[in-house]
């Protein structure tokens, strides 16, 4: 018999009738309003991973460097000298589509908290952004405000934004993507987990006041398709980087002084998810008295207090004798801290208000017994996406083709965006955006202890062409970016941005992408240490391109030998290395011509991975002055980018018929003194090695048999550098 009465509030909250019945079974009664709100959030896609949990189990999570894997607030890898690097990428897509400035800002704030919640000091942020085409006023508005929001939060809290990527494609018009990744550095012995422990210990809430902002915010917004006409602005959270800065400093000082038993940030679903997840991991219960929670608005209902998504709050477990010490540290940093509950042995989340129990739920039911669904993947017979509008008719000259590609927003310089970010605070940044293929951050002063490199990537259009190969390529692109600065991959985080997984063709995209990620991670030796899933990114305009975003972290021994992406001197020899088979399928040129392929060439993963090892070794040898991978726009664009970044031209000769604008994994440009580059030939030859030309002059001149192309560096710079700023003048 069903417990469902009509009209059913659980449906409004996104629960199915079957899920509601299951809740009644778990409670052995009907839930009250607070309990229903709590269950609806914990069983939302955002918190419960209902449609992705089974798939995510495919991903490799073990590796020799892994210190913390999935399940904690962030993953972490060992970087030597007693240090670990914690990192994670997370989406804030739906809030950013509603209010881009605050959506993006609180996306950064949330991922920062995830990292310092495990005891790591945030040292870098990267962002992966997707918008509709820049011809659209809405896309320009979203980009402008999202970039400003990221800058506002990251700059104000003093964490460098060192990299990222931005793509513009029609299917993101209604559902933009804002994925933020944070890296933190921690002495391994300061790291802390979130499992609540010690029956009788005190639960302390510290940070900002709790208000009505964000009620149903991330959790509900992230778990249903956005309607065209609903105004959800009131449920977007508001960020305060100054409050978070104090929260960060106080959290790390509390950990340095050994005052905490466990620590957890408050993100989506606020107190509800933080407390129940801490209790679940610790195998204990938690009792919270909502009357003790400091409120911004006096008349809040208990259920509102429990699900508020007010930003800049943390929850910690403290032994009673250490409570005074905790309160003193918080007072020093002018951070509000309040004991609001205790750890119990009941394995239940109990909520008190006015001296009465207003909610009482088994922790297992909330966290571990969320229903998990099998996907029903079916490969679509018809194209899922319309072909993009053609911008080139094919009659243009090779020069105009190159300039059109350099100025197309996906390839154009992103300087307009990254100059709005502080990329240097913290004294670690050795390579900022557009100086090298990956950001390079020193671990110790003056390069002692080596450096880490980080890259974030994911070309959704190529994944739309071929979800398996596209996902493989995203991992390879990151690994290639790391190889170009001499870094060996240590681990990876991913954010799976997809449409509605209950639709078979989206389920197919998701399944094939995860399979691709798995195979590529295994091939390059980069385990997945954490990540995030953002589903239901679709509306009236259809689904977004399937967009697995991959963030990879690696280590290199000597930041002093890191090459640049630009040419350094005239007279340097240029080599094209790696197993690179350029094709127009899925390329930027194909897009400008109005095409969208339905498959990409298969990738030989073993061959790709072996070549990356050799490139990395070559870069570390110090023989390479310039290293830049061939990606969007093919070899012609890669050469032009090296020339633009260095202000030096190049003369290059290729075989007749070489696809100058073709794309595909595996290609890397290396340049340096002739003797040095020729010295690499023997090691690189089995993996693909071809001396193709020399730097110098003020033009990029390419000959491939009878086809020739020659463009002044100044014209390339104008096309590449002027494209984004011209849209905002």
Partner 1 sequence: MTRFGVIRFPGSCDEVDALQACERYGDAEILWHRDRDLKGVDAVVVPGGFSYGDYLRPGAIARFSPVMEAVSEFAREGGRVLGICNGFQVLCEAGLLPGALLGNDHLRFRCRQVEIVVENIDTAFTRACAREDTLSIPGKHTTGRYFAPPALLDQLEGNGQVVFRYAPGQNPNGSLNDIAGVANEGGNVVGLMPHPEHAVSPLRSSADGGKLFESVALEPAAA
Q: Which residue has the tokens 């964000």?
A: 214
| Burial class for 382, CB neighbours closer than 10 Å (0-12, 13-18, 19+) | exposed
Touching partner 1, residues 555-614 (CB under 8 A): 559-560
Is residue 170 classed as helix, strand or coil in its secondary structure? helix
Binder to partner 1 among 23, 104, 134, 157 (CB under 8 A)? 157
Nearest-angstrom CA–CA distance, 698 and 546: 40
- Among 91, 155, 219, 511, the residue binding partner 1 under the rule CB under 8 A is 155
Looking at beta carbons only, is 147 or 624 nearer to partner 1?
A: 147
Contact between 259 and partner 1 by CB under 8 A: the answer reads: no
Say how far apart CA 625 and CA 530 lie, in whole Å: 34
Which residues, other chains included, contact 52 with Cβ-Cβ below 8 Å and sequence gap of 6+? 45, 496, 501, 510, 533, 535
What are the angstrom distances between the C-alpha of 450 and each of 162, 169, 455, 561, 615? 17, 38, 17, 11, 19
46 counts as catalytic: yes
Active-site annotation holds for 92? yes
* Binding of residue 690 to partner 1 (CB under 8 A): no
Minimum separation from the CB atom of position 505 to partner 1 (A): 41
**From 32, 61, 136, 156, residue interacting with partner 1 (rule: CB under 8 A):** 156
Is residue 333 a contact residue for partner 1 (CB under 8 A)? yes
Binding track, positions 96-135, relative to partner 1; x by CB under 8 A: ----------------------------------------
| Segment 447 to 466, residues that bind partner 1, using CB under 8 A | 447
CA angle 479/534/249 to nearest 5° reads: 75
| Contact flag: residue 429 with partner 1 (CB under 8 A) | yes
Q: What gap in Å lies between CA 475 and CA 93, rounded to an integer? A: 22
- 391-420 residues in contact with partner 1 (CB under 8 A) are 418-420
Give the interface segment with partner 1, choosing from 183-191, 442-450, 504-512, 652-660 (CB under 8 A): 442-450
| Of positions 50, 246, 401, 687, contacts partner 1 by CB under 8 A | 246
241 makes contact with partner 1 (CB under 8 A): yes
- Among the listed ranges 210-218, 234-242, 308-316, 696-704, the one in contact with partner 1 (CB under 8 A) is 234-242
Does 148 participate in binding partner 1 (rule CB under 8 A)?
yes
> In this structure, what token pair is assigned to residue 420?
């709005």
Q: Which is nearer to partner 1, 430 or 723 (CB)?
A: 430
The token pair at 334 is 């002018």
Shortest CB 680 distance to partner 1, Å: 24
Q: Is the separation of the CB atoms in 211 and 298 below 8 Å?
A: no
Q: Which two tokens stand for residue 276?
A: 């129940």
Q: How far apart are CA 295 and CA 280, in angstroms?
A: 26
Does residue 714 belong to the site contacting partner 1 (CB under 8 A)? no
Angle between helices 241-256 and 100-116 (to 10 degrees): 0
Among 2, 141, 242, 296, binds partner 1 (CB under 8 A): 242
Partner residues linked to 316 by β-bridges: 204, 263
**Stretches 2-10, 381-389, 427-435, 535-543: which one binds partner 1 (CB under 8 A)?**
427-435
Number of continuous H segments (helices) and E segments (strands) in the chain: 25, 28
- How far is it, in rounded angstroms, from Cα 727 to Cα 704? 34
**Region near partner 1 per CB under 8 A, out of 80-88, 163-171, 238-246, 585-593:** 238-246
Instruction: Return the number of the residue (341 or 486) whose C-beta is nearest partner 1.
Output: 486
Give 307-375 as a 3 state SS string: HCCCCCEEEEEECHHHHHHHHHHHHHCCCCEEEEEEEECCCEEEEEECCEEEEEEEHHHHHCCCCCCCC
Nearer residue to partner 1 within complex by CB, 246 or 568? 246
Size of residue set near partner 1 by CB under 8 A:
34
How far apart are the two ends of the chain, measured CA to CA in Å?
Answer: 64
Closer CB to partner 1, residue 352 or residue 485?
A: 485
Catalytic residue among 92, 152, 505, 720: 92
Least distance (Å) between residue 400 CB and partner 1:
30
Q: What angle do CA 449, 451, 453 make, to 5 degrees?
A: 155
H/E segment holding residue 91: strand 83-91
Looking at the Cβ atoms of 316 and 443, the one nearer to partner 1 is 443
Stretch that binds partner 1, among 86-94, 422-430, 609-617, 694-702 (CB under 8 A): 422-430
Determine which one of 10, 46, 145, 687 is catalytic: 46
80, 158, 283, 657: residue in contact with partner 1 (rule CB under 8 A): 158
Scanning the structure block, which residue is given the tokens 């004294």?
A: 427
- Among 423-431, 528-536, 614-622, 693-701, which window interacts with partner 1 (CB under 8 A)? 423-431
Q: How far is the CB of 97 from partner 1 (least distance, A)?
A: 23
Q: How far lies 265's CA from each of 314, 316, 335, in Å?
A: 4, 8, 15
CB of 76 to partner 1, least distance (A): 22
φ/ψ of residue 560, rounded to 5: -70, -20
Q: Which of 2, 16, 397, 427 binds partner 1 (CB under 8 A)?
A: 427
CA–CA separation, 265 and 401 (whole Å)? 49
Q: How far apart are CA 165 and CA 112, in angstroms?
A: 19
Position 430 contacts partner 1 (CB under 8 A): yes
- As annotated, the active-site residues are 46, 92
Binding site for partner 1 (CB under 8 A): 148, 151-152, 155-158, 240-243, 245-246, 249, 333-334, 418-427, 429-430, 442, 445-447, 559-560
């Amino acid at each position: 018999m069903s417990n469902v009465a009509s009209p059913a509030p659980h449906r409004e909250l996104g629960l199915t009738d079957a899920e509601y019945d299951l809740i009644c079974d778990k409670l052995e009664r009907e839930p009250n309003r607070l309990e229903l709100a709590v269950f609806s959030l914990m069983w939302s896609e955002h918190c419960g991973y209902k449609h992705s949990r089974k798939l995510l189990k495919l991903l490799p999570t073990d590796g020799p460097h892994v210190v913390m894997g999935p399940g904690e607030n962030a993953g972490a890898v060992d970087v030597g000298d007693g240090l670990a690097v914690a990192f994670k990428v997370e989406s804030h897509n739906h809030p950013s589509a509603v209010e881009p400035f605050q959506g993006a800002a609180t996306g950064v704030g949330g991922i920062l908290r995830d990292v310092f919640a495990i005891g790591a000091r945030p040292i870098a942020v990267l962002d992966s952004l997707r918008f509709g085409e820049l011809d659209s006023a809405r896309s320009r508005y979203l980009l402008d405000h999202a970039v400003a929001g990221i800058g506002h939060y990251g700059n104000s809290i003093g964490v460098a934004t060192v990299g990222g990527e931005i793509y513009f494609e029609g299917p993101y018009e209604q559902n933009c993507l804002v994925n933020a990744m944070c890296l933190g550095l921690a002495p391994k012995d300061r790291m802390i987990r979130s499992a609540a422990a010690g029956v009788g210990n005190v639960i302390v809430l510290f940070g900002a006041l709790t208000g009505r902002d964000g009620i149903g915010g991330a959790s509900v917004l992230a778990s249903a398709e956005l309607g065209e006409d609903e105004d959800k602005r009131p449920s977007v959270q508001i960020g305060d980087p100054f409050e978070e800065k104090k929260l960060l400093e106080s959290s790390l000082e509390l950990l340095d002084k050994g005052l905490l038993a466990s620590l957890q940030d408050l993100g989506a679903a606020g107190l509800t998810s933080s407390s129940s997840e801490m209790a679940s991991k610790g195998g204990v219960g938690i009792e919270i008295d909502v009357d003790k929670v400091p409120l911004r608005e006096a008349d809040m209902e208990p259920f509102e207090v429990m699900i508020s998504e007010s930003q800049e709050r943390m929850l910690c477990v403290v032994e009673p004798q250490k409570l005074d010490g905790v309160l003193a540290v918080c007072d020093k940093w002018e951070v509000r801290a309040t004991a609001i509950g205790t750890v119990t042995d009941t394995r239940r989340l109990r909520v008190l208000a006015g001296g009465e129990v207003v909610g009482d739920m088994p922790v297992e039911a909330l966290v571990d017994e969320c229903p998990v669904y099998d996907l029903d993947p079916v490969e679509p017979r018809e194209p899922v996406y319309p072909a993009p509008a053609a911008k080139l008719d094919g009659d243009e000259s090779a020069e105009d083709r190159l300039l059109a590609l350099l100025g197309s927003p996906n390839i154009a310089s992103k300087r307009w965006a990254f100059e709005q970010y502080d990329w240097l605070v913290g004294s670690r940044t050795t390579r900022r955006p557009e100086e090298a293929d990956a950001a390079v951050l020193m671990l110790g002063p003056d390069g002692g202890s080596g450096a880490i490199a980080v890259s974030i990537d994911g070309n959704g259009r190529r994944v739309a062409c071929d979800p398996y190969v596209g996902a493989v390529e995203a991992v390879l692109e990151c690994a290639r970016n790391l190889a170009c600065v001499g870094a060996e991959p240590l681990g990876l985080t991913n954010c799976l941005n997809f449409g509605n997984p209950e639709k078979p063709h989206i389920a197919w995209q998701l399944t094939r992408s995860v399979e691709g990620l798995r195979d590529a991670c295994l091939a390059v030796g980069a385990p997945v240490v954490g990540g995030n899933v953002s589903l239901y990114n679709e509306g009236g305009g259809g689904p977004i391109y399937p967009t697995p975003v991959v963030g990879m972290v690696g280590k290199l021994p000597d930041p002093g030998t890191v090459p640049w992406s630009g040419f350094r001197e005239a007279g340097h020899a240029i080599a094209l290395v790696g197993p690179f088979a350029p094709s127009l399928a899925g390329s930027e040129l194909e897009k400008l011509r109005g095409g969208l392929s339905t498959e990409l060439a298969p990738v030989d993963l073993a061959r790709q991975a072996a070549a990356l090892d050799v490139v990395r070794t070559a870069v570390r040898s110090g023989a390479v002055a310039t290293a830049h991978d061939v990606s969007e726009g093919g070899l012609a664009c890669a050469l032009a980018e090296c020339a633009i970044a260095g202000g030096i031209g190049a003369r290059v000769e290729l075989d007749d018929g070489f696809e100058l604008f073709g794309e595909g994994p595996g290609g890397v440009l290396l340049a340096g003194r002739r003797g040095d580059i020729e010295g690499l030939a023997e090691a690189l030859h089995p993996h693909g090695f071809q001396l193709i030309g020399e730097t110098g002059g003020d033009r990029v001149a390419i000959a491939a048999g009878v086809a020739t192309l020659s463009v002044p560096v100044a014209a390339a710079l104008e096309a590449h550098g002027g494209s984004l700023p011209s849209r905002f003048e």
